[in-house]
Amino acid sequence: MEELSYPELYKRLRASFGHLGWWPGETRDEIVIGAILTQQTSWKNVERAIDGLRSEGLVDLKRISATNVKVIERAIRPSGFYRQKARRLKGIATYLCRNYGTLDRLFRKDAIALRKELLSLNGIGKETADSIILYAAEKPIFVIDAYTRRIMSRAYGTDPEIDYDALQAMITSGIRKNLGLYKDFHAQFVELGKANCRTRPICAGCPISEYCRYFAHAIGTRQEA
């Protein structure tokens, strides 16, 4: 079976889904907040939590840092694990405000130094750090999420438990380094994961089914039966 190159994969996904405006967020603060809140939950729940923060005037890291954690908990309750996330959000906001004052100062760092510092903060893992770097700091680093892992495993046969950095390097080695491309390619993975490559996949209508190892195996199994 012919294997799609990563540029061709992107081309086919974009032809199917169009250019996608992702990550949602009106300000850098909101993007950072959303990246923290989206851990272990759906974006729909994050939107509800951000609405809760907005109603309290808290879509702002300085205000979050100065707000009682109980108020934050109440506002972000729809996000799930809201007590843990409220503590993390307040802690991260407090650190950033005390040490940098504004995100502009933090984001002057290069991507490598910025990633290292973000990963040193409690509650920020690699996916969250890279989401902040790509969408808030607007520096080209490719985000790996659950959709990306699932699609790469099914379509290309990668190990579902592959190391985050290894999968990131695998993808970026085959595409040009470009901020807009990284943003939209990640968005395409998300859209394919929601539309077709779900936990229970919907292969009918999938734009890459003819190149997918999972689909080829499923077809072969049905034919043998």
Residues 66 and 56 sit within 8 Å (Cβ to Cβ): no
Distances (CA, A) of 223 to 1, 6, 200, 204, 218: 17, 29, 20, 17, 9
Q: pLDDT at position 21, please?
A: 80
Q: Which two tokens stand for residue 213?
A: 């190892």
Residues 216 and 225 sit within 8 Å (Cβ to Cβ): no
Topology of domain 6-20+143-224 in CATH is Endonuclease Iii, domain 2 (1.10.1670)
pTM of the model: 0.94
The CATH architecture assigned to 28-136 reads: Orthogonal Bundle (1.10)
Q: pLDDT at position 24, please?
A: 78
Residues 49 and 76 sit within 8 Å (Cβ to Cβ): yes
The model's confidence at residue 222, banded by pLDDT at 50, 70 and 90, is low
> 56-104: per-residue pLDDT in tens?
999 999 999 999 999 999 999 999 999 999 999 999 999 999 999 999 9
Mean pLDDT confidence for 19-46: 92
Q: Which two tokens stand for residue 119?
A: 């990963």
Mean pLDDT confidence for 49-59: 96
DSSP 176: -
Task: Supply the mean pLDDT for the chain.
Answer: 95
Mean pLDDT confidence for 158-182: 97
Q: pLDDT at position 29, please?
A: 97
Mean pLDDT confidence for 190-209: 96
The model's confidence at residue 221, banded by pLDDT at 50, 70 and 90, is low
What does the DSSP assignment read for 115-167? HHHHHTSTT--HHHHHHIIIIIS--------HHHHHHHHHHH---TT--HHHH
Structural domain spans, the chain: 6-20+143-224, 28-136
> 12-21: per-residue pLDDT in tens?
999 999 999 8
User: In the chain, pLDDT over 70 holds for what percent of residues?
Assistant: 97
The span from the first CA to the last CA of the chain, in angstroms, equals 21
28-136 has the same fold as 6-20+143-224 = no
Whether residue 11 has pLDDT greater than 80: yes
Residues 60 and 26 sit within 8 Å (Cβ to Cβ): no
Whether residue 223 has pLDDT greater than 60: no
